[in-house]
């Protein structure tokens, strides 16, 4: 029996000719990632180890992005801890405020994630980099510490689910709708500790930003990782962003999958995940048949949907319109480069004229940190990735996960809305 993409990458990293699902291996790491929340814990654990410095200062990335610019004394202390560690160990890829961004948008933008790499990060959405054909997955801070010290990590080789992508999406249907559809179909534990491998002729109709979004939310289906083949679109992205050498792996024709699904993009509709789980999905057509769901806040940003395509989609809907009186619209470009590009394209002007506020790059509201905390009873449409109880503030608030198109349309009307209705 052949191997999947993920299994081939792990086999090479472990120095083995072949691996099988369920096998325990020790793999060499190409990149270890941490942020301002998870890194201090890892740094503390690393100090307990009898090691001198890090295994490779060029293969560690530390990105303060959750509570920056510092929101309070505690977050300032966390960032100070990370900063001092990075300076002491001469970490090449430490990104201070001003050059930073949301980690899972920043690292591909800086060319640090490439096909064939094995990447761990002390953040669950590290699976984002599978969009570029890497095996990337989230780990705990202790595993991050061990990775920084040794350059190695233990894995149980995952089995896989294959998603055969066909067709072409209609207007206003994006990668967010694709992954919400999949999670709604298989559930939040439907891919538990499995590799979600995306194949098929329809992939050519998904932009890199779509793919980053889909891979990013593999964890919301319980996946160990999500991964895409490296096609011409991915290679073009890599040529623009990196000079690193990389290896492209393809699944064997006889690779074994636990399940296989076909996703026809042409049949998908804008999709929204209702509280309090990403699997609680409804299409916009179903929502149109419901009573109005009035909202108090809209957030467009995060490691899931803060990229330039997301900014452009939101601006296209908001152009010449104004948000509903009394509603808050918070827009967060994911990196400084994206922020600058949005400014140069006039998107920021469009947002402000529409009544939005635009933030420096931060994860802030996604995890209930700051820049958009919800009060009791408030509802928010958000392009983030989780809508758990209390995720964005008060335990009696509600989060509706949606694409930038649905989010922007909802900001205009003050209720969850079909972007087609604004024509």
Tell me: the pLDDT tens digits for 99-153?
Answer: 889 999 999 999 999 999 999 999 999 999 999 999 999 999 999 999 999 999 9
Does 211 share its domain with 296? no
The answer on 256 and 280 residing in a single domain is no
Do 214 and 85 have their domain in common? yes
| 56, 125, 290, 394, 401 from 368: Cα distances, Å | 34, 16, 28, 9, 15
Residue 316 and residue 254 share a domain: no
Q: How far is CA 183 from CA 195, 206, 278, 367, 402, in A?
A: 14, 18, 7, 20, 13
Of 265, 293, 316, which one is at a domain's C-terminal end?
Answer: 265
The confidence score (pLDDT) of residue 48 equals: 87
Note whether 304 and 166 are same-domain residues. Answer: no
Residues 315 and 233 in one domain: no
Beta-bridged to residue 15, according to DSSP, are: none
Domain identity same for 38 and 183: yes
User: CATH no. for residue 240?
Assistant: 3.30.499.10
pLDDT value at position 389? 87
Digit-coded pLDDT (tens) for 51-83? 889 999 999 999 999 998 999 999 999 999 999
pLDDT attached to residue 356: 98
**pLDDT-based confidence at residue 266 (cuts at 50, 70, 90):** very high
Q: Which of 209, 241, 265 is the last residue of a domain?
A: 265
Give me the pLDDT at residue 179, please. Answer: 97
pLDDT tens digits, one per residue of 334-363: 999 999 999 999 999 999 999 999 999 999
Question: For 223-251, what is each residue's pLDDT tens digit?
Answer: 999 999 999 999 999 999 999 999 999 99
225-227 and 195-199 strand pairing: parallel
Identify the band that residue 264 occupies on the pLDDT scale cut at 50, 70 and 90: very high
Can you give the residue range of the structural domain that contains 210?
Answer: 5-265
Query: What pLDDT digit, counting tens, does each position of 389-419 carry?
Result: 889 999 999 999 999 999 999 999 999 999 9
Taking only the tens place, the pLDDT of each residue in 154-192 is: 999 999 999 999 999 999 999 999 999 999 999 999 999
In this prediction, residue 47 carries a pLDDT of: 86
Residue of 5, 63, 7, 6 whose CA lies nearest to 31: 63
Q: Percent of the chain at pLDDT above 90?
A: 92
Strand 379-382 and strand 398-401: the pairing is parallel
Cα(272)–Cα(282) distance, integer angstroms: 5
CA distance 326 to 342: 25
Residue 423 in this model has a pLDDT that exceeds 80: no
* Domain count along the chain: 2
Verify that 255 and 307 share a domain, yes or no. no
Domain identity same for 254 and 279: no
Q: Are 384 and 252 found together in one domain? A: no
Residues 160 and 28 in one domain: yes
**pLDDT for position 49:** 86
| H or E element in which residue 304 lies | helix 302-305
Same domain, yes or no: 360 and 260: no
| Mean pLDDT score across all residues of the chain | 95
Boundary of a domain, candidates 265, 289, 310: 265
Give the pLDDT score at 51: 82
Split at pLDDT 50, 70, 90, the class of 421 is confident
CB 109 within 8 A of CB 95: no
Mean pLDDT of 265-276: 96
pLDDT at 422 over 90: no
């Amino acid at each position: 029996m052949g191997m999947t993409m993920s299994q081939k990458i792990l086999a090479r990293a472990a120095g083995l000719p072949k691996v099988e699902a369920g096998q325990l291996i020790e793999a060499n790491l190409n990149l270890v990632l941490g942020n301002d929340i998870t890194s201090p814990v890892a740094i503390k654990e690393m100090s307990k180890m009898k090691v001198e410095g890090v295994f490779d200062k060029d293969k560690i990335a530390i990105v303060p992005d959750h509570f920056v610019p510092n929101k309070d004394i505690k977050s300032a202390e966390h960032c100070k801890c990370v900063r001092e560690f990075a300076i002491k160990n001469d970490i090449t890829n430490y990104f201070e405020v001003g050059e930073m961004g949301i980690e899972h948008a920043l690292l591909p933008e800086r060319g640090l994630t490439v096909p064939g790499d094995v990447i761990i990060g002390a953040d669950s959405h590290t699976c984002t980099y599978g969009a570029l054909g890497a095996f990337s997955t989230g780990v705990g801070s202790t595993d991050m510490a061990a990775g920084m010290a040794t350059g190695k990590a233990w894995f149980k080789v995952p089995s896989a689910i294959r998603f055969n992508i066909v067709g072409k999406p209609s207007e206003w249907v994006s990668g967010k709708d694709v992954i919400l559809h999949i999670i709604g179909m298989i559930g939040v534990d439907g891919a538990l500790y499995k590799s979600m491998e995306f194949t098929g002729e329809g992939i050519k109709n998904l932009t890199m930003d779509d793919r980053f979004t889909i891979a990013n939310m593999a964890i919301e289906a319980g996946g160990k990782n999500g991964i895409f083949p490296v096609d011409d679109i991915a290679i073009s992205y890599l040529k623009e962003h990196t000079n690193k050498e990389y290896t492209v792996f393809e699944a064997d024709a006889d690779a074994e999958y636990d399940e296989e699904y076909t996703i026809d993009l042409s049949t998908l509709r804008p999709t929204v995940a209702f509280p309090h789980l990403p699997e609680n999905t409804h299409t916009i057509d179903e929502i149109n048949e419901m009573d109005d769901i009035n909202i108090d806040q809209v957030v467009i940003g995060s490691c899931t949907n803060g990229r330039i395509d997301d900014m452009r989609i939101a601006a296209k809907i908001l152009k010449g319109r104004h948000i509903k009186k009394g509603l808050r619209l918070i827009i967060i470009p994911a990196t400084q480069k994206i922020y600058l590009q949005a400014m140069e394209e006039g998107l920021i002007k469009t947002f402000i004229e529409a009544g939005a506020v635009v933030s420096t790059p931060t994860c802030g509201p996604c995890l209930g940190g700051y820049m958009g905390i919800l009060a009791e009873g408030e509802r928010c449409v958000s392009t983030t990735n989780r809508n758990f109880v209390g995720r964005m503030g008060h335990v009696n608030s509600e989060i509706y996960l949606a694409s930038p198109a649905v989010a922007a349309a909802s900001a205009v009307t003050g209720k969850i809305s079909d972007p087609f209705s604004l024509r």
